[in-house]
Chain A
Amino acid sequence: MNNSFNFNRFWLLVKRQWLEFGKIYLISLLVVVGVLILFYAWNLPEPEAEKGYRYNSEGFLYLSFRIPLFLTLGFIFISVIASGYFSLLGQKPKAIIELMTPASTLEKWLCSIFYTGIFSVFSFLLVFYITDLAFVKYIDKTIGTITFSWTSGVHPTPKTGIVSARTFFNDFFEHDEIKSMVVVPFMITSIFLLGSVYFNRFHYIKTAVVVMLFLTALIYTLIQTANWMTRDKMQDSANFGFSSAHNEFFIYAMVGITAVTVFLWCVTFFRVKEKEV
């Protein structure tokens, strides 16, 4: 018997975890769907009020509520799911049953990453995409016959068109900067997953507080260090010395975020391995 990893055992564990985790997950997902529908319905453009529409530079209807909704709801959903995964290890009766389940620590850890880092993130994206697509189709169908005019460019020239909306992901991912941030959700889940195994109670609050304190300390240190390094020195360029010809900054950011995510996942593995009841 392979005591480190066995695919059959891993699959059994995924199915077993679903019994407990699935309920919380499905309820949370239902709440997400409800909130999405509510927000879209509330912010739907009305045909009678077409003068109040906002358009982007390409003439598509600008649904400004979508970005904060996507970011806020997405953060809450994936962090809550990740924060709840190992929370049972903080309760002795539950922890004993979990730790005595005949699966290796590696399998239990991979299962946690599957549910929190992959399943929850992609299910949120799917739910958001489907809801958004449905409403975009609805908008196109109900108010797509209205003509309008807009101006764009350095030398504005009035143009006319038909009201049309693009799906959120078409809008959101058209910028390279955003594309490089696709690893951020995995980092968020890795932080809250570690919090769920590190703390015995109030996992979410405690993790959030620790992250806030850490970020405050980090930002303060960076600002102080930068001030100290540049004190009494002359500024030699308008962009404060930062020059990025090929979005190098975003590549570094992506690599950095990935490294932090992998590091936090590894720490989680050892916390699960060393967990005592």
Chain B
Amino acid sequence: MITINNLNFGYSKHNLLFKDMSMQLSAGHIYGLLGKNGAGKSSLLKNIAGLVYAQSGSLKVMGFDPAKREPELLADICFIPEEFYLPSIKIDAYIKANAPFYKKFDYAYLNVLLEEFNIPISNKLVNMSYGQKKKFIIAFGLATQAKLVIMDEPTNGLDIPSKAQFRKVMASALTDDRCIVISTHQVRDLDNLIDTVIMLDESTISLKASIEEITQKLTFKKMKELDETVIYAEPALSGYNVVVPNFHQEDSKMDIELLFNAVIAEKKKLKPIFN
């Protein structure tokens, strides 16, 4: 669905944010895009959506060049930005004005989602809280039936019950012909939701692997004392939370925060494992 080849991008020519980035994203997956502040998560999403232009390299989304902003592609992209603006009109007026642009717009599904998120359709957008607005824009975006769903920090501003609702809705929104990319720095919010992790660090992709591959190659567990097999460790109550190579095909639950810190701190140790 998304093919990136040797992409070079930066807000100035001399300070590139991505250098020769290459990657492929396919339909039927929920990708979690992780990275430190300023690593370029939002910029990568904007490149994919055609909101910024790369210096060189190629980027194709469903066969289109997103930089051309062709309506056919735009109708198949649902982009939920971190900061967004909604006009001061009623929800039904917003739907009436915007939904006809999307040929596959599912009005019934939108109603189901609004009900799930407890948002009355008669509400005026401007009077809603930030969290409610975010839930509305997510519901509207999913109802467009876009094949590519891009979300930049979607859980920001959502309360705890809403985060659970969000995970439930997103899990049910994944279909075989849909690709979902979620960027966040609140990695715990993506627990049990994403199936592939993409980590950005130092102008490049430091890790791209499915959860299955990660848990096949690494074990996440608690240890009382550290040994030479440990790749990364964090002090915890009565011992350490550690990441170790999975030599004995152990089953473990991936600790996404631990993995994130391990990738940032021990890139050299992890690279041979995933290559």
Binds A, one of B68-76, B200-208, B232-240: B68-76
CB < 8 Å neighbour of A93 from B75, B84, B93, B100: B84
Give the residues in chain B near A91, CB-CB below 8 Å.
85
Given known A9-B71, A104-B69, A277-B46, contact A97–B85 (CB-CB < 8 A): yes
Q: Does A1 contact B (CB under 8 A)?
A: yes
Given known A19-B97, A100-B49, A102-B102, contact A94–B71 (CB-CB < 8 A): no
User: Can you identify 25 A-B contacts, CB atoms within 8 angstroms?
Assistant: A1-B71, A3-B70, A12-B101, A19-B87, A19-B89, A19-B97, A91-B85, A93-B83, A93-B84, A94-B85, A96-B79, A96-B81, A97-B85, A97-B86, A99-B51, A100-B49, A100-B51, A100-B74, A102-B74, A102-B75, A102-B101, A103-B74, A104-B70, A104-B71, A273-B69
Q: Do A92 and B101 have beta carbons less than 8 Å apart?
A: no
Q: Does B262 contact A (CB under 8 A)?
A: no
Q: Does B173 contact A (CB under 8 A)?
A: no
Given known A19-B93, A20-B87, A93-B85, contact A276–B52 (CB-CB < 8 A): yes
Q: Does B77 contact A (CB under 8 A)?
A: yes
Q: Complex Cα distance A13/B12, Å?
A: 34
Give the residues in chain A near B93, CB-CB below 8 Å.
19
Q: Do B79 and A100 have beta carbons less than 8 Å apart?
A: yes
Q: Complex Cα distance A14/B96, Å?
A: 13
Give the residues in chain B near A273, CB-CB below 8 Å.
69
Interface residues of A in 260-274 (CB under 8 A from B): 273-274
Give the residues in chain A near B192, CB-CB below 8 Å.
none
Given known A16-B97, A94-B85, A103-B101, contact A1–B52 (CB-CB < 8 A): no
How many chain B residues touch A (CB < 8 A): the figure is 29
Q: Complex Cα distance A172/B102, Å?
A: 48
Give the residues in chain A near B75, CB-CB below 8 Å.
102
Given known A93-B81, A96-B51, A97-B84, contact A3–B71 (CB-CB < 8 A): yes
Q: Does B53 contact A (CB under 8 A)?
A: yes
CB distance from B233 to the nearest CB of A (A): 40
CB < 8 Å neighbour of A16 from B68, B74, B98: B98
Q: Does A28 contact B (CB under 8 A)?
A: no
Q: Does A105 contact B (CB under 8 A)?
A: yes
Contact with B along A239-277 (1 / 0, CB 8 A): 000000000000000000000000000000000011011
Q: Do A3 and B49 have beta carbons less than 8 Å apart?
A: no
> A interface, how many residues as a size bin?
20 to 34
Q: Complex Cα distance A107/B75, Å?
A: 15
Q: Does A179 contact B (CB under 8 A)?
A: no
CB distance from B152 to the nearest CB of A (A): 9
Contact with A along B58-72 (1 / 0, CB 8 A): 000000000011111
CB distance from A74 to the nearest CB of B (A): 28
Q: Complex Cα distance A270/B101, Å?
A: 23
CB distance from B60 to the nearest CB of A (A): 15
Given known A100-B79, A102-B101, A103-B101, contact A276–B74 (CB-CB < 8 A): no
CB distance from B76 to the nearest CB of A (A): 8
Give the residues in chain B near A147, CB-CB below 8 Å.
none
Q: Complex Cα distance A103/B212, Å?
A: 40
Give the residues in chain A near B53, CB-CB below 8 Å.
274, 276
Give the residues in chain A near B102, CB-CB below 8 Å.
102
CB < 8 Å neighbour of B52 from A6, A12, A97, A277: A277
CB distance from A88 to the nearest CB of B (A): 8
Q: Complex Cα distance A19/B85, Å?
A: 14
Q: Which of B93, B94, B101 has most chain A Cβ within 10 Å?
A: B101
Q: Does A141 contact B (CB under 8 A)?
A: no
